[in-house]
Amino acid sequence: MAYEIGTTEAGMAELSALVVAVEDPKGKEYFERYSFYKLAGDGQKKGYGLPRTKWVWALITQEERDQLKSFFPLESNTIFIKTRLPDGSYASYQAIGNWQEKESVFGGGYIKNLEIEFSFMEAL
């Protein structure tokens, strides 16, 4: 199992199998089962909304960044992904992909700390 991305469910492909192979996200892993949490009157924390996640690369080449950006013609759009869950398994979702607003160029053809956020994730 591995991370996948696509503009359609049928067109999803592993990141390593893209025209320009992209390594799986590195860095801190994020996955939240709910969009937001509230503390209920009885003191229990309650989760509401759909899951969200973030893919993070501490360092990525310009070519890998451009390959990923090709899935984002807009800053936010519908995307299909397979992502890692907290238990180590993977699940597929239709989501809203949100491209990072500001990117840090590291130099020598590398981008530092690239983050792609996925929200409003609906299980496939």
Which helix or strand (DSSP H or E) is residue 63 part of?
Answer: helix 62-69
Q: What percent of the chain has pLDDT over 70?
A: 98
User: Is pLDDT at 27 greater than 60 in this prediction?
Assistant: no
- DSSP assignment, residue 17? G
Query: pLDDT tens for residues 38-48?
Result: 999 999 999 99
Question: What tokens does 79 get?
Answer: 């995307």
Q: What is the tally of structural domains in the chain?
A: 1
Question: Which residue is it, tokens 């991370």?
Answer: 3
Residue 29 has a pLDDT of 72
- Give the predicted TM-score (pTM) of the model: 0.88
End-to-end CA gap in the chain = 16
- Domain range holding 96? 4-123
Question: What tokens does 24 get?
Answer: 């799986």
User: Is pLDDT at 4 greater than 90 in this prediction?
Assistant: yes
Q: What angle do CA 36, 38, 41 make, to 5 degrees?
A: 165
Query: pLDDT tens for residues 70-103?
Result: 999 999 999 999 999 988 899 999 999 999 888 7
Q: Using only C-alpha atoms, what is the Rg of the chain?
A: 15
Q: 28 falls in which pLDDT band (50, 70, 90)?
A: low
Residue 105 has a pLDDT of 79
Mean pLDDT, all residues of the chain: 92
